Structure 1
Amino acid sequence: MFTDNGEHRLCLIAGLAIANHAFGLSEVSCLNTKPLPSQRRALDWLNFFLADVRDGLGPYLAIYLLAVHHWQPAEIGLVMSLAGITALLAQTPAGALIDSTKAKRAVVVAAALLVTGSCLLLPWLSSFAAVAITQAVGALAGSVFAPAIAAISLGISGPKAFTRRVGRNETFNHAGNACSALLAGGLAYLFGPVVVFYLMAFMTVASIVAVAQLDAAAIDHQLARGLDHGPGGDDHPAGLKLLLHNRTLLVFAVCCALFHLANAAMLPLVSQKLSQIDLRLATPLTSACIVAAQLVMVPMALLVGAKAEHWGRKPFLLAGFLILPLRGVLYMVSDNPFWLVGVQLLDGIGAGIFGALFPIVVKDLTEGTGRFNVSLGALTTVFGVGAALSPGIAGLVVQNAGYDTAFLTLAAIAGAAFILVLVALPETLPGASPSPSSTPKPKPAGH
């Protein structure tokens, strides 16, 4: 059923070759100009359709394993943690790959095919080892999406328009999540939870079509990796040690890790509670939770994109981090399905703000270094540690002390993250008061 590592590499190479041939995805650097409306629309639709692909099955995996295979919560948490660990180990190399390659669109296509393929195998698998392997493969492929989309966006829009572009990316990403969740909920109610696998396959095909609409010549690969463009720019990226000495970047990494340690397990735990209340309604109600949050994330992403250049980054970060402990506590108030769906609306504020600001803050702290994508991958690795550990820890707490104790534990972790942002993270908006912990912008070679 599964190939060895050498065959996996051959499949990936073959996929890239097919994508290059079929869609003309070979890319060359170009001089960045104002993106054409067609390129902006292509990025919009790519974010919309890729929303259902980039995270794999997400919380639906917990429902599927619980309802179809009758797994224990600890087993579900462990397989999700193993996939998360695989993803986090791949994040930094994925960022480095995106920094160095000019075939960014081909990488997105190959990754989307691998993620979807790994999920489509699940209806024929039941053993822990087989499920863990498929999810690990999907997580490995999915690690390239975040740096690839960020790099393509920066390479097309340039740094000055990047904040607004990221806000637009997140808006269409959340709209795509909401749309796919609505479809998944309705179709799962009619045909069972397995239908979400085939919905993902459709979204993958649509994502590939959207990628093909992006013009290779519209991407400035020098800007895409965070290097300055023009006569004063430096074509050589800074050494990685420069980033390790950036204390603000390191503090932000710890904040991100704590945020995801608290956040990643919340929706899967809610899904499991819904499964115990009414198994037939579990998938539709989980879809309702996702839709509720995503609908709130849309205006949050738009707000960040429109106002983060004027109000700064930190006020938004404080608001996003404050919502998370409040949400964890409110899940303990009632087991009523409508209450749980209502509380999930708060996720739209916290995660909506965080998702939009994350690449913007990394861009702020790495601008001019040429290490934007590898830094994005490295920080994703750090907060991925939290996201990977979260389901496993929460599953063990549930099994030994119940769901309320698990939610309270996650809320306490989230409270610690908020305090750290409040007291230790400075404003990163360019032009704001400089922080002594910030990394100085490297000078061009020869200076």
Structure 2
Amino acid sequence: MRTIRALEALNFFMADVQAGIGPFLGVFLQARGWGTDMIGTVMSIGGIAGMLATSPAGALVDGTRYKRALIVVAGVMTVLASSLLWVSHEYWMVAVSQIATAITGAAIGPAIAGITLGIVRQSGFDRQFGRNQVANHAGNVVAAALSGWLGWRYGFGAVFALSAAFGVLSIICVVMIRGDAIDHHVARGLAPAEPSHEAAKDDAASGLRILLQCRPLLVLAAALALFHLGNAAMLPLYGLAIVAAHKGDPSAFTAETIVIAQGVMVVAAMFANRLIRWRGYWWVILLTFLALPVRGLIAASLIEAWGVWPVQALDGVGAGLQSVAVPALVVHLLNGTGRVNVGQGVVMTVQSAGAALSPALGGLLAHRFGYAAAFVALGAVSTGSLALWVGCGAGIRRACGAGGTSA
């Protein structure tokens, strides 16, 4: 139980570390004279770097027995990369910071998923990963609230200091996870007694092969890419829209957007496993895809301080359910292959392609046509995920049912 509690505490504190200063980046740069097009472009550079790193990171997690050390190194490097922003606001220095943050952060998600699977096994993964995500979203709520207050009271420097403090606490939590509690065979989707060296021979090149060989996984990745093409820019762009209209303090309002979304995500993550058992993975993920077009229309109609409530509540529903259902579905589809974390990485790579392009697309649309048009366009783009998911629904539901989880 000590190891499980340490794992959940790690998810809580790592929430503020994994993405650096996250949504505060946009308002931080805007306060220093950056335009929405430049902000969107530099965020996309980081997104592309993360996209390219996620699949190799998943292979590394499958192949290494030093998963805890990997999280420590990645967390330290992420904090150091974020601190570069405080040193310089030059375009290429900011770009280097975002690239480093994305590359090191790419390893954290698969590593935590692998450790969780290695500790609780396949039968307990859905439930425990749901608890992990509840802790992660709660950590985001606390970190965002503290960041907003500290940024308003002491300036943006306090936001960087808070991220560093959470990084130290994350390292303490990693050390508290017992190494002998992790079965590294199970952590990659193999049976406890099954040797893994045969499966490890071509880990570095297996991500694309796994994606192409498993059609439901390919559909999932493609649908997520379209979803995140519309979704990733929505939160930072909405914050920029409100600040540009002089309807909110940059730090406080950005913190409010995060707290609302992450608060809803806590609730959504708590109920995600029950919804999966009741309706299955396909229906739960479909619900997340339905939320985004509605969110885009509301964001376009309500560029007001109070509009953050419906806009971010819908974000919380979609992201909260996805944070549990997507990794759990990947584990379910690849159980027994020895490629679970490679699969996690390659799905993250494909969805990150959409997320990487989203800030640049949203920033350019906002710069040329205004914020309202950008929100409508981003919501419209994401309807492609709905079409793909519904069109291939029968095959995905059969694949889900084959592993013992009804869909």
**Superposed displacement of residue 229, structure 1:** 2.4
**Counterpart among 187, 198, 223 of residue 236 in structure 1:** 198
Larger-gyration structure (1/2): 1
* Structure 2 counterparts to residues 312-327 of structure 1, below 5 A: 312-327=280-295
| TM-score normalized with structure 1 length | 0.85
Taking a change above 3 Å as real, the CA distance of residues 46 and 360 of structure 1, as seen in their structure-2 partners, is: same
Aligned-CA RMSD value: 1.8
Cα distance in structure 2, aligned partners of 1:301 and 1:273: 29
**Superposed displacement of residue 310, structure 1:** 3.9
Judge conservation of contact 2:221–2:347 (CA < 8 Å) in 1.
yes
Cα distance in structure 1, aligned partners of 2:225 and 2:211: 18
Equivalent residue, structure 2, for 1:18 = none
Deviations 1:218-249 (A, max 9, x none): 00000001112247x87632873354221111
Equivalent residue, structure 2, for 1:107 = 70
Equivalent residue, structure 2, for 1:64 = 28
Cα distance in structure 1, aligned partners of 2:360 and 2:60: 30
Q: Which amino acid aligns with 1:51?
A: A
**Given the alignment of the two structures, is residue 98 of structure 1 paired with residue 65 of structure 2, yes or no?**
no
Equivalent residue, structure 2, for 1:421 = 389
Equivalent residue, structure 2, for 1:132 = 95
Equivalent residue, structure 1, for 2:330 = 362
Cα distance in structure 1, aligned partners of 2:198 and 2:165: 41
Cα distance in structure 1, aligned partners of 2:274 and 2:170: 26
| TM-score normalized with structure 2 length | 0.94
Deviations 1:387-438 (A, max 9, x none): 1000001111111111111111111112221222122132243447999xxx
SS in 1 for 2:301: coil
Judge conservation of contact 1:293–1:347 (CA < 8 Å) in 2.
yes
**Counterpart among 213, 217, 228 of residue 176 in structure 2:** 213
More deviation, 98-107/278-287: 278-287
Taking a change above 3 Å as real, the CA distance of residues 60 and 373 of structure 1, as seen in their structure-2 partners, is: same
More deviation, 344-353/241-250: 241-250
Equivalent residue, structure 1, for 2:372 = 404
Equivalent residue, structure 2, for 1:335 = 303
Judge conservation of contact 1:226–1:363 (CA < 8 Å) in 2.
yes
Cα distance in structure 2, aligned partners of 1:352 and 1:63: 24
Which one has a larger percent helix, Structure 1 or Structure 2?
2
Equivalent residue, structure 1, for 2:3 = 39
Taking a change above 3 Å as real, the CA distance of residues 225 and 432 of structure 1, as seen in their structure-2 partners, is: closer
Taking a change above 3 Å as real, the CA distance of residues 109 and 329 of structure 1, as seen in their structure-2 partners, is: same
Q: Percent identity?
A: 40
**Unaligned regions of 5+ residues in structure 2, if any?**
none
Cα distance in structure 2, aligned partners of 1:354 and 1:216: 29
**Unaligned regions of 5+ residues in structure 1, if any?**
1-36, 436-447
Cα distance in structure 1, aligned partners of 2:9 and 2:261: 20
SS in 2 for 1:158: helix
**Given the alignment of the two structures, is residue 177 of structure 1 paired with residue 140 of structure 2, yes or no?**
yes
Cα distance in structure 2, aligned partners of 1:275 and 1:341: 16
Deviations 1:146-195 (A, max 9, x none): 10000000000000110001101110000000000110111111112232
Q: Which amino acid aligns with 2:47?
A: G
Equivalent residue, structure 1, for 2:43 = 80
Number of residues of Structure 1 aligned to a counterpart in Structure 2 = 397
Q: Which amino acid aligns with 1:283?
A: S
Judge conservation of contact 1:305–1:356 (CA < 8 Å) in 2.
yes
Q: Which amino acid aligns with 1:43?
A: L
Cα distance in structure 2, aligned partners of 1:215 and 1:430: 34
